């Protein structure tokens, strides 16, 4: 892992730092997300993994990780897709989409201070695993794109279609 620290720092600098200096206070969380392998159990979610792997093509200052997409790469790549999809003249940074997605998973509750508690890495790991294993209700509650009404079983729907159905039911992306 040590040989890809430059890539990890580049991901943070390129996609997660905003004018307020985020991810200050979330270094441990972001690193755990980087170490966690993203996997999928629904057909076509491999596209989200491919998006995450594609990020590696933008880094040319040293080695990149080998192997599967990380959870961090998945969430950043999904945030980039959101930015591209929802851009309507008002610029919203990738970091804002990323932190909104992290908040929806309750990951932003786990600041660096929380990592002093022995159980925090296990809880954070369980949250990421629950998302990938689709351990949420049929309307996606506790997932990334919870729906309010009349939904197909979101546990069987690829992430991209969950996102689109969410946008059809909501006026905006960011939770009020």
Q: How many domains does the chain have?
A: 1
Which pLDDT band, with edges at 50, 70 and 90, does 176 fall under? very low
Q: Per the domain annotation, does 104 fall within a domain?
A: yes
Q: Per the domain annotation, does 114 fall within a domain?
A: yes
Which pLDDT band, with edges at 50, 70 and 90, does 92 fall under? confident
- CA separation for the pair 9, 52 (Å, rounded): 16
pLDDT, residue 34, reads 96
Q: Tens of pLDDT along 48-88?
A: 999 999 999 999 988 899 999 999 999 999 999 999 888 77
- Angle at CA of residue 142, ends 173 and 44, nearest 5°: 75
Q: Tens of pLDDT along 116-147?
A: 899 999 999 999 999 999 999 888 888 999 88
Residue 154 has pLDDT above 60, yes or no: yes
Quick check: 157 and 165 in contact, CB under 8 A? yes
Range of the domain at 99: 2-136
Q: Tens of pLDDT along 21-47?
A: 556 789 999 999 999 999 999 989 999
Q: Per the domain annotation, does 174 fall within a domain?
A: no
What's the chain's length in residues?
A: 176
Q: Per the domain annotation, does 162 fall within a domain?
A: no
- CA separation for the pair 154, 27 (Å, rounded): 31
- CA separation for the pair 36, 70 (Å, rounded): 6
- CA separation for the pair 86, 112 (Å, rounded): 31
Q: Per the domain annotation, does 102 fall within a domain?
A: yes
Q: Per the domain annotation, does 91 fall within a domain?
A: yes
Q: Per the domain annotation, does 73 fall within a domain?
A: yes
Residue 3 has pLDDT above 80, yes or no: no
User: pLDDT: is 157 or 174 the higher one?
Assistant: 157
Q: Per the domain annotation, does 176 fall within a domain?
A: no
- CA separation for the pair 55, 52 (Å, rounded): 6
Contacts for 112 with CB less than 8 Å, ≥ 6 apart: 25, 26, 27, 28, 29
- Angle at CA of residue 71, ends 53 and 160, nearest 5°: 75
Burial of 89 from C-beta contacts in 10 A (0-12 / 13-18 / 19+): exposed
Distance of CA 92 to the CA centre of its chain: 16
């Amino acid at each position: 892992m040590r040989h890809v620290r430059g890539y990890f720092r580049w991901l943070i600098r390129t996609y997660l730092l905003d004018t307020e200096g985020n991810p200050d206070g979330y270094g441990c969380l972001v690193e755990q997300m980087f170490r966690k392998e993203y996997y999928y159990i629904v057909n076509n979610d491999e596209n989200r993994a491919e998006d995450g792997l594609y990020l590696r093509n933008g880094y040319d200052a040293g080695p990149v990780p080998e192997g599967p997409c990380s959870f961090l790469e998945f969430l950043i790549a999904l945030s980039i897709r959101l930015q591209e999809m929802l851009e309507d003249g008002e610029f919203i940074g990738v970091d804002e989409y990323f932190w909104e997605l992290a908040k929806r998973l309750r990951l932003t509750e786990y600041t660096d201070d929380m990592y002093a508690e022995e159980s925090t890495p296990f809880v954070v790991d369980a949250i990421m695993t629950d998302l990938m294993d689709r351990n949420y209700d049929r309307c996606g509650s506790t997932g990334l794109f919870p729906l309010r009404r009349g939904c197909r079983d979101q546990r069987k729907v690829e992430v991209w279609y969950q996102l689109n159905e969410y946008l059809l039911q909501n006026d905006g992306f960011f939770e009020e």
